[in-house]
A = this chain, B = another copy of it.
């Protein structure tokens, strides 16, 4: 899609300084801008790039005082970062709106309904008795089992697998290859040392505006529901076991794992490669550093922990600082012991 600089300025309620008829067809960082690109300058640190960028146009603050001549056309706005975000959204919406209709062959089971303005890609599968809202995008090779409910404007990318009975809110994004509702990992140990599978009869319930990363797995509950609250964002390759409950507006980075029946509060930030053991509870607004292992309840809101097993973040930093010098510490102790 191609636009004139003036068109972009009108959209952003900004003013053009330079050539309003120049055209742009892609977005780029200011330090990587090439002809045809539209960039923005928000962080003062990047201002030097403004005078050298190859971008055709740059969105800047209307209070900016130029320190040298600029080749690019400028679009002057109140807040460049926020203007650029608006632009990105408009772009995304245009892309999304363009994707509508049904590609054949695709599969729609008995008694399933799907709302208007939807997209169903080739080889996508929808089982029986599903209720799917308006404006939902279901990409090729996605699988949606029986009795699944999906809210309006949710996007199911290619190859997503959703087991029967799952409930998904509106405005969710499920990235390619994620699995929602797989069998929980529950086995009853037998007297002879073998294991017998415990049937998993529950489901998964996702709130609205939930984001699930590529190839992330969310198991169904043994009974009841595995829950992920509204607004929560989960990165790629994360494991959410049976009966886990994650609150609202919590962010979880890649490759983290929540063991069975663990509970995570609202507004938490869980970094990457963290492990949370089964049945523990994490209070609201907890921050967990990367690679940490949570083995006990975190009861106080706003706690910041690090380490495996995790404890107070700053205390962990200090302990790690001594850890590096342990051989020296050992030597000092050896010397003291000799002296005595």
> In the complex where A89-B199, A161-B158, A259-B272 touch, is A185 in contact with B233 (Cβ < 8 A)?
yes
Contacts A185-B213, A233-B187; A177 near B177 (Cβ below 8 A): yes
Taking the closest CB of chain B, its distance from the CB of A12, in whole angstroms, is 15
Q: Interface stretch among A15-23, A46-54, A140-148, A296-304? A: A140-148
Cβ-neighbour of A141 out of B123, B173, B339 (below 8 A): B123
Q: How far is the CA of A89 from the CA of B187 in the complex (A)?
A: 13
Chain B binder among A2-10, A25-33, A58-66? A25-33
Question: Which B residues are CB-close (under 8 A) to A325?
Answer: 319, 330
Q: Are A185 and B140 touching (Cβ within 8 A)?
A: no
- Counting every copy of the chain, the complex holds 3
Which residues of the other chain, B, contact A308 by a CB distance below 8 angstroms?
291
Contact (A29, B290) CB under 8 Å given A241-B254, A275-B273: no
Contacts of A291-327 to chain B: CB distance below 8 A: 291, 293, 308-309, 311, 315, 318-327
A151 interface hit (Cβ, 8 Å): no
Q: Whole-angstrom distance from the CB of A193 to the nearest CB of chain B?
A: 5
Please name all residues of chain B whose beta carbon is closer than 8 Å to the beta carbon of A251 when the two chains form the complex.
Answer: 187, 195
With A236-B182, A275-B273 as known contacts, state yes or no: A215 contacts B213, CB within 8 Å: no
Question: Is the CB–CB distance between B143 and A85 below 8 Å?
Answer: no
Residues B198 and A88 in contact, CB atoms below 8 Å apart = yes
B157 pairs with A182, CB closer than 8 A? yes
Write the nearest CB–CB distance from A216 to chain B, whole angstroms.
8
Question: Which B residues are CB-close (under 8 A) to A176?
Answer: 143, 161, 163, 179, 182
Q: Which residue from B27, B293, B332, B340 sits with its C-beta under 8 Å from A201?
A: B27
Q: Point out the residues of chain B lying under 8 angstroms from A188, CB to CB.
A: 85
Residues of B within 8 Å of A198, CB to CB, are 85, 88
Instruction: Indicate with 1 or 0, residue by residue over A176-211, a CB within 8 angstroms of chain B CB atoms.
Output: 110100110101100001111111010000000001
Structural contact, B143 and A143, CB atoms closer than 8 A: no
- The answer to the question of A255 belonging to the interface, with a C-beta cut-off of 8 Å to chain B, is yes
Given A185-B236, A236-B217: A253 touches B249 (CB 8 Å cut-off): no
Indicate whether A97 reaches chain B with its CB closer than 8 angstroms: no
Contact partners of A241 in chain B: CB under 8 A:
236, 254
The residue in A224, A327, A330 that gathers the most chain B C-beta atoms within 10 A of its C-beta is A330
Given contacts A173-B197, A214-B219, 19 further A-B contacts (CB under 8 A): A27-B223, A32-B224, A107-B123, A122-B125, A175-B183, A177-B177, A179-B215, A185-B253, A185-B254, A236-B239, A257-B272, A257-B273, A272-B275, A275-B291, A322-B329, A322-B330, A326-B326, A329-B329, A329-B330
Which A positions have Cβ atoms within 8 angstroms of B?
26-29, 32, 85, 88-89, 91-92, 103, 105, 107, 121-123, 125, 139-141, 143, 145, 157-159, 161, 163, 173, 175-177, 179, 182-183, 185, 187-188, 193-199, 201, 211, 213-215, 217, 219, 223-224, 231, 233, 235-237, 239, 241, 249, 251, 253-255, 257, 259, 267, 272-273, 275, 277, 290-291, 293, 308-309, 311, 315, 318-327, 329-330, 332-333, 336-337, 339-340
